[in-house]
Structure 1
Amino acid sequence: MDRKQIIAVDFDGTLCFSTWPDTGEPNQPLIDYLKIHKKAGDKLILWTCRSGVILDKALSWCREVAKLEFDAVNDNVPEVIAYYGNNSRKIFCDIYIDDKACVPDEFCGKCRIIQ
C-alpha cells in the first residue's frame, strides 16, 4: 500500500458552517487545505452522521460549492480494506478533522484524577 496520508473530515460545523440538516457557508481555509492534500495524492474520507437524502445533499454541496471529491464516504478507502483484508466499522485515517474532536493531551490535562 502506498503510504499517502488519509484525511477524514466531518461535514456539519467543520467543512460546512451549517446546522443539520441544512447546508451553509463553506469553511474555505479547510477546503483549500484538503484540495492541496488531494492534489498531492492523499486520500479524503467524508466522515459524517448524515445518511440518505441529507447525505446526498451534503455530497452535492461538496461537489458544487467546495469542488471536492472524496475517495470514500462514511467508509474506509478501498486501499485500506484491501491491505487489511477487512473493513472495520472504525475508519483508519492519519488525520481526523471534526469540530467535536478533542486533543487527548489537552483533554487529559484538564481532567482530575478521582481517588
Structure 2
Amino acid sequence: MSKKWKVKNHAATTPPPRQRRSRWLTLALIAVAAAAAISIGIWLVQRSQPAPLTTGAAPGEAASSPVDGPRLALDQDLFDYGDVKLNSTIETEINVKNIGDEVLALAESPRVELVEGC
C-alpha cells in the first residue's frame, strides 16, 4: 500500500523570510514616523495657544494679597451673545483693571478669541 502525499509549494505563496522581515520593518518605521508627526503636531498646536488669563480673584474683585508686577483683572471674562447671524458686527466694551503693583501695558490690538458653535 502506498500513500500519496501532497506537498504544497510554499515558495510560490510566501515570500522568503528576509522579505517578510523587511515588510514588518517598513510598517514599523511608518508607524513610528506617524506617531512622531502626530505628537509634534499636537505640541505645535498647544504651543501656539496663549495661556488663559487668570487673576486669582473673582471677576470684579481685587486680589487680597499684594502682587509683584502688573496683574490684569476683568469685570467679565466670558461673553455669550446667543445666536448671531453670519457677518454681523458685535461691539463689546471690556473694563480692564491693573491690580498689580507695576505698570500694565496692553497691546495696541489685544488678541481676542472667538469661539464659534458653542
> What TM-score does the superposition give when structure 1 sets the normalisation length?
0.25
Which one has the bigger helix percentage? Answer: 1
Greater CA radius of gyration, 1 or 2? 2
Q: Which has the higher contact order (CA 8 A, sep 6+)?
A: 1
State TM-score, norm by structure 2. Answer: 0.25
